Chains A and B, each alone.
Chain A
Amino acid sequence: MTTNVERPEVPLFRRHLYWLQPRWRDPGWLAFALNRLSGYILVLYLLAHFVILSRLTAGPAGWDSLLEIFGSQPFLVGDTLLIAAVVFHGLNGLRVTALTFGFGSRHPSLLFGVVFAVSVVITLLAGWAILFE
Chain B
Amino acid sequence: MSGPTRPARRFLGRPDDAYPGFVPRAGDGPEGARALPGAANWAGRLWMVQAISGALLIVFLGLHLVAQHLLVPGGLRDYAAVVSYLRQPPALLAELGLLGSVIVHVVLGIRAGVVEMVKSPVWLQRITIGLWIAGGLFFVYATWLTAVLVVAG
Is the CB of A86 closer than 8 A to any CB of chain B? Answer: yes
Main secondary structure of the interface of B (DSSP, over half): helix
Q: Which residues of A contact B117 (CB under 8 A)?
A: 12-13, 15-16
Q: Which residues of A contact B80 (CB under 8 A)?
A: 60
Is the CB of B57 closer than 8 A to any CB of chain A? Answer: yes
Q: Would A63 and B82 count as touching, CB distance under 8 A?
A: yes
Instruction: Kindly state the separation between the CA atoms of A96 and B23 in the bound complex, as whole angstroms.
Output: 13
Q: Would B57 and A90 count as touching, CB distance under 8 A?
A: yes
Q: Would B20 and A97 count as touching, CB distance under 8 A?
A: no
Q: Which residues of A contact B141 (CB under 8 A)?
A: 50
Query: Of B9, B54, B75, B148, which one neighbours A93 at CB under 8 angstroms?
Result: B54
Min CB distance A23 to B, Å, is 11
Is the CB of A21 closer than 8 A to any CB of chain B? Answer: no
User: Interface extent on B, as a size class?
Assistant: 35 or more
The chain A residue sitting closest to B103, CB to CB, is A46
User: Interface extent on A, as a size class?
Assistant: 35 or more
- Could you write out 12 A-B pairs with CB less than 8 Å apart? A2-B17, A57-B145, A57-B148, A59-B153, A64-B78, A90-B54, A93-B51, A97-B55, A100-B21, A100-B23, A101-B21, A102-B21
Binding site for A on B (CB under 8 A): 9-12, 15-17, 20-21, 23, 30, 47, 51, 54-55, 57-58, 61, 74-76, 78-80, 82, 102, 106, 109-110, 113, 116-119, 138, 141-142, 145, 148-149, 153
